[in-house]
Amino acid sequence: MKEENDIKETRPEANKKPSAEPPHELLDLTVGGVKKWAAGVPGVVASVKDLIGEKTLLRGGKALFKMNQFDGFDCPSCAWPDPDDDRSPIAEYCENGAKALAEEATTKKITADFFKNNSVYDLAKLTDYEIGHLGRLSEPVYLPKGGTHYQPISWDDAFKKIAEHLNGLASPDEAIFYTSGRTSNEASFVYQLFVREFGTNNFPDCSNMCHETSGFALSPTIGIGKGTVKLHDFYDTDVIVIIGQNPGTNAPRMLSALERGKKKGAKIIAINPLPEAGLMGFRNPQQLSGVIGGGVNLGDLYLPVRINGDLALLKALELLLLDFEKKSPGEVFDHEFISQKTVGYDAFIKQFDHYRLDDLAAASGVSTALLYEAAQLIAFKKRIIFCWGMGLTQQHNGVDMIREIVNILLLKGSIGKPGAGACPVRGHSNVQGNRTMLINHHPTAEQLDRLQQVFGFNPPRTGGYDVVNAIKAMHAGKVNVFFGMGGNFLSATPDTTYTAEAMRKLALTAFVSIKLNRGHLIHGKESLILPTKSRSEIDMVKGEKQFVSTENSMGVVEWSKGMLKPISDDLINETQIVCRMARATIGNRTVVDWQRYHDSYDAVRDDIEKCIAGFEDYNIRVKQKGGFYLPNAARDEQRFAKQFNGRAPFTLTTVPENTLAPDEYLMATTRTHDQFNTTIYGLDDRYRGIFNERRVVMMNEKDIAQAGFKPGDKVDLFNYDDGIERVAPLFIIVPYPIPERNTMTYFPETNVLVSVNNVVKGSNMPASKYVKIKIKKHDPDLPMRKASTSR
Ligand SMILES: Nc1nc2c(c(=O)[nH]1)N[C@H]1C(S)=C(S)[C@@H](COP(=O)(O)OP(=O)(O)OC[C@H]3O[C@@H](n4cnc5c(=O)[nH]c(N)nc54)[C@H](O)[C@@H]3O)O[C@H]1N2
Ligand SMILES: Nc1nc2c(c(=O)[nH]1)N[C@H]1C(S)=C(S)[C@@H](COP(=O)(O)OP(=O)(O)OC[C@H]3O[C@@H](n4cnc5c(=O)[nH]c(N)nc54)[C@H](O)[C@@H]3O)O[C@H]1N2
Ligand SMILES: [Mo]
């Protein structure tokens, strides 16, 4: 697929282009012990310190106490739900929510003058941490063809440029409209409406790198691509399994729910190649006992699965459960549920004639003794919740893994009843809402019919590009315009060198954003950066304070009202950006009253209600305390897949053969405790005991010795997928309790190693947690991206 010169970009002659990667330079690593506790005093101290560090203590501090409150705004960090009833009067937030708020509440800002003094090339020499800490974007800027510096542009002229480019395309499918997961329901709805009226379904979105795998796995089995539990289910359950997810860092408020469940007797099983702090113990910062010590031991059982060993592990559990069932018929499996609510049970059970526990245990990397303990914890319990995250969704066979989880839930009848079910833990705070609002490259015919009935235009019927296909289409020259509603497409996506080439081929890139990021520096021939309001800021429209709404990980739609003064008077909210772009582009042929939406979000919500099921009386119910739940037939009625008359099928999967060459390792890319995706809050990964360095590769001690390395050695990482060499130079080896032949690194630094063709079967997501790498002693002659010298 790639040509020889595709890889040349990391060679010296290419250094004249702005760097698509953070500088290849090391800081000053220190290594402490792996932590066994999450949150507690250091968590709270770290969050307050962060706000002070951003000189925003007053601004941010005031806002913190409104975050996730009934009349406040939705935390911009993760999608974990807020309690339906009793929200902490002190604060319903966590350390990482506070960091996310500090990021956007900063009083620092970037003006057009700043861009005049700093070329795009020079800005790209900064680290991602430095770029993120330059401050908030405060006015629209434009990079002309051949230009080296972004320069000021009026909003009207910016929309005119976009309109010119879009209207000049040979086909609407030559434009791509990306969405990150912070965009509100209201802005998402008008966005997809404009893009569909313009004429394309090219909606790559961050779900295509996140939980697309979950949706793809769940829809055909349980009939809905979303989870089936409510927060309350965690408070009264028997077993919670957390597989491939790191709640202590990425959904810290989940720990309070685990703590509550645990106190009522729930057992927690953690399945992860790393003994993550949040899976082991928790000190609740919102309760006095958590602040002064105490704390709860969370994990009852930790299974150190090998990277990608999960399918074998889940099958081993099923095999053991079957054994228990044979010994105590009817006590382990829920036969009434199986016969009434499922199909395919006999074929499913039959497959186990061919599996041996020892083989499955060996493939999973977990001992038969530990597997037996896990099966025993589950076997005689009725209420089981499975939670999962990127550790599964970003595996090449992630769809199978999630369907295997569904198989277990079906065997146990543990779905669609209190204290039980499937819980994909979503990422971005409104990523689930974006999808519900039809930001989707493959909408269903019914969804499009509905749009047509309500609005009268004929929406495009052919599917559009997802993230991976968008990159390939841009690279192949089939696309000319990229519009990004938030996010950092370049740094979040795989195969950085290839993706950068793809972006550089475009005629126009336009990015709506609150902060500058590297993605804005790898641009098309012309480029626009359009600054918008953050969720915590007041949104006045025609003298009236507006609110938006979002949907959390458990399908609750709730309002969100900003309360901080916007950082600049020249910011336009996302809904109005879309309305003005629509008017500029299709104003003379549109059937939609964009001015109405521009002037009132109530009007947007009224029309959402007409188009999308579950939003009846939207404007009334969204104002109720705690919002409202969207319907979920799997959860509420045990009604599953339509094509099986409401039953759920068991799925037959196969255990993959994972062969590695003698000098190969599997690499999973993950987040530190100090980042939100590509936004780097700080340089520490406190719970993992790794400080002041991101270019590290975590390795098993035995592997380090066997390869002739020592802890602290400098190495280069290579990937050879598609027959080409990808290199990520200059990493430091950190010995870590991780299974042999497995390694862990941080993204976005190692995205350069992930082939655009290394995808999850079915969902077409990048398999960023299944990357084959080689590790070689650092070669000082390797061409490298140097950091800015002015620092
Ligand atoms: N503070 C903060 N919060 C966030 C984010 C953030 O970056 N920072 N990001 C948000 C977003 S968009 C998302 S999607 C979520 C992501 O939240 P998570 O799903 O927790 O994402 P990751 O940190 O990528 O990795 C999850 C875990 O997978 C494990 N893992 C890796 N490979 C395997 C494997 O083969 N098997 C198993 N069982 N486990 C494996 C890793 O050790 C890690 O503990 O968090 C959201 N919340
Ligand atoms: N190797 C590897 N790659 C991964 C992952 C991984 O685990 N490993 N995880 C993947 C996952 S799960 C995800 S979700 C993607 C994330 O992909 P994205 O969502 O594209 O990336 P983010 O880093 O979350 O986007 C951050 C940017 O969004 C902008 N922003 C923040 N708030 C707002 C707002 O309110 N409005 C607007 N318009 N802009 C805003 C800021 O300017 C910031 O620079 O990355 C994926 N990439
Ligand atoms: Mo995500």
| Cα dist from 717 to 76, 391, 753, whole Å | 34, 21, 8
Q: Is the C-alpha dihedral spanning 566, 567, 568, 574 positive or negative?
A: negative
Q: What is the mean pLDDT of residues 745-768?
A: 98
For residue 687, the 8-state DSSP code is: G
The residue written with tokens 């030559």 in the block is: 174
524 and 394 within one domain? no
| Ligand 1 binding site (Cβ under 6 Å of any ligand atom) | 77-78, 96, 210, 243-246, 249-251, 271-274, 276, 305, 307-308, 310, 389-391, 395, 427-428, 668, 670-671, 675-677, 769
Question: pLDDT higher for 471 or 785?
Answer: 471
Q: How far is CA 558 from CA 185, 429, 579, 654, in A?
A: 10, 12, 23, 41
In this structure, the residue with its CA closest to atom 46 of ligand 1 is 427
Quote the ligand 3 centre to 181 CA distance (angstroms). Answer: 8
Amino acid 651: pLDDT: 98
Indicate if the pLDDT at residue 293 is higher than 50: no
The stretch 660-676 carries a mean pLDDT of 96
Residue 745, burial from CB neighbour count under 10 angstroms (0-12, 13-18, 19+): buried
Predicted confidence at residue 512, as pLDDT, reads 98
**Direct distance between the N- and C-terminal alpha carbons of the chain, in angstroms, rounded to an integer:** 39
For residue 679, the ligand closest to its alpha carbon is 2
Pocket test for ligand 2, best of 211, 678, 726 (most atoms within 8 A of CB): 678
Query: Would you give the distance in Å from CA 343 to the centre of its chain?
Result: 32
Q: What are the strands of the beta sheet with 281-283, ordered from one edge?
A: 38-39, 281-283, 296-297
Minimum-distance ligand 2 atom for the alpha carbon of 670? 7
The preferred substitution site among 483, 509, 513 for testing ligand 2, maximizing ligand atoms within 8 Å of CB, is 513
Q: Closest by alpha carbon to 562, among 47, 93, 59, 50?
A: 59
H-state helical runs in 54-182? 57-64, 95-105, 112-117, 120-123, 128-132, 155-167
Classify residue 652: in a domain, yes or no: no
Domain identity same for 517 and 583: yes
Same domain for 580 and 624: no
Q: Would residue 430 count as lying in a domain?
A: no
How confident is the model over 391-407, as a mean pLDDT? 98
284, part of any domain: yes
**Is residue 203 domain-shared with residue 226, that is, in the same domain?**
no
pLDDT at 31: 87
Confidence of residue 658 (pLDDT cuts 50, 70, 90): confident
| CATH number for 754 | 2.40.40.20
Task: Note the residue count of the chain.
Answer: 791
What percentage of the chain has pLDDT greater than the value 90?
Answer: 80
Ligand 2: which atom is nearest the Cα of residue 678? 23
Is 323 a member of any domain?
yes
Q: Answer yes or no: is pLDDT of 544 > 60.
A: yes
Does 469 share its domain with 411? no
**Domain presence at residue 103:** no
Question: Strands across the sheet with 548-551, in order?
Answer: 548-551, 556-560, 628-629
pLDDT at 395 (0 to 100): 98
User: Do 202 and 290 belong to one domain?
Assistant: no
Look at ligand 1, atom 33, and give the residue with the nearest C-alpha: 391
What is the DSSP secondary-structure string of 164-232? HHHHTSSSGGGEEEEE-TT--HHHHHHHHHHHHHHT-----BGGGGTTHHHHHHHHHHHSSSS----HH
Rounded distance from Cα 351 to ligand 1 centre (Å): 32
pLDDT of residue 83: 82
Q: Give me ligand 3 centre to Cα 207, in Å.
A: 7
Task: State mean pLDDT over 120-148.
Answer: 96
Say if residues 717 and 775 touch (Cβ distance below 8 Å). Answer: yes
pLDDT band, very low/low/confident/very high, at 71 (cuts 50, 70, 90): confident
User: For 466-481, how does the pLDDT look when each residue is reduced to its tens digit (9 = 90+)?
Assistant: 999 999 999 999 999 9
User: Are 36 and 298 a contacting pair, CB within 8 Å?
Assistant: no
Which residue has the CA at smallest separation from atom 25 of ligand 2? 487
Q: Which ligand is in closest contact with the Cα of 670?
A: 1
Structure confidence at residue 752 (pLDDT): 97
Q: What pLDDT score does 13 carry?
A: 36
Assign residue 618 a region: left if phi > 0, alpha if psi is -120 to 50, beta otherwise? alpha
- Banded pLDDT at 103 (limits 50, 70, 90): confident
Average pLDDT in the chain: 91
250 is a domain residue? yes
Query: Whose alpha carbon is nearest atom 12 of ligand 2?
Result: 210
User: Which of 13-27, 135-149, 776-790 holds the top average pLDDT?
Assistant: 135-149
Q: What is the percent of the chain where pLDDT is above 70?
A: 91
Tell which wins on pLDDT, 624 or 791.
624
What integer pLDDT is reported at residue 44 of this predicted model? 55
Taking CA atoms only, the protein residue closest to ligand 1 atom 42 is 274
Instruction: Check: CB of residue 110 under 8 Å from CB of residue 136.
Output: yes
Round to whole Å and give the CA distance between 761 and 95: 35
| Same domain as 718, residue 598 | no
- Per-residue pLDDT for 5 more than 70? no
Instruction: Band the pLDDT of 591: cuts 50, 70, 90.
Output: very high
Q: Are residues 276 and 343 in the same domain?
A: yes
Poorest-confidence range of 66-75, 269-278, 396-405, 424-433? 66-75
Residue 4 has pLDDT above 70, yes or no: no
Atom of ligand 1 nearest to the CA of 274: 42
Residues 697 and 633 in one domain: no
SS3 of 411-465: HCCCCCCCCCEEEECCCECCHHHHHHCCCCCCCCHHHHHHHHHHHCCCCCCCCCC
Asked whether residue 221 carries a pLDDT value surpassing 70, the answer given is: yes
Indicate whether 74 belongs to any domain.
Answer: no
- Token code pair at residue 146: 């051949």
Q: What confidence category does residue 688 fall into, taking pLDDT thresholds of 50, 70 and 90?
A: very high
Same domain, 639 and 701: no
- Enclosing domain of residue 767: 664-789
DSSP conformational letter for 746: E
391 shares its domain with 247: yes
Confidence of residue 101 (pLDDT cuts 50, 70, 90): confident
Average pLDDT over residues 489-516: 98
Q: Which two tokens stand for residue 532?
A: 């918008």
Query: 445-455 and 601-611 helices cross at what angle (nearest 10)?
Result: 130
Q: Would you say 484 and 509 are in contact if contact means Cβ atoms under 8 Å apart?
A: yes
Q: What is the CATH number of the domain that holds 499?
A: 3.40.50.740
Q: Residue 246 C-alpha to ligand 1 middle, in angstroms?
A: 5
Query: What pLDDT, on a 0 to 100 scale, did the predictor assign at position 280?
Result: 76
> What average pLDDT does the segment 238-254 reach?
94
Shortest-distance atom of ligand 1 to CA 673: 1
Residue 464 φ then ψ, to 5°: -105, -170
Cα pseudo-dihedral 608, 614, 617, 621, rounded to 10: -110
Domain assignment present for residue 382? The answer is: yes
Residue of 179, 206, 493 to mutate, ligand 2, most atoms within 8 A of C-beta: 206
Choice among 71-80, 659-668, 686-695 with the minimum mean pLDDT = 71-80
Question: CA-CA distance, 421 to 232, in Å (whole number)?
Answer: 12
pLDDT at 156: 98
> Whole-angstrom Cα distance, residue 721 to residue 717?
13
**Separation of CA 191 and ligand 3 centre (Å):** 20
- The structural domain count of the chain equals 3
Question: Atom 22 in ligand 1: which residue has the minimum CA distance?
Answer: 670
Q: What is the pLDDT of residues 29-63, one digit of tens each?
A: 888 877 665 655 455 556 556 555 555 555 766 67
Residue 592 Cα to ligand 3 midpoint, Å, equals 32
Lowest mean pLDDT among 19-33, 195-209, 654-668, 712-726: 19-33
Give CA torsion, residues 636, 641, 644, 645, to 10 deg. 40
Q: What residues does ligand 2 touch, defined as CB less than 6 Å away?
A: 180-182, 206, 209-210, 390, 394, 427-428, 485-489, 492, 512-515, 517, 532, 534-535, 574, 669, 677-679, 747, 751, 754, 768
What is the mean pLDDT of the segment spanning 440-465? 97
Confidence of residue 12 (pLDDT cuts 50, 70, 90): very low
**Same-domain check for residues 226 and 337:** yes
SS3 call for 648: strand
At 230, the amino acid letter reads: K
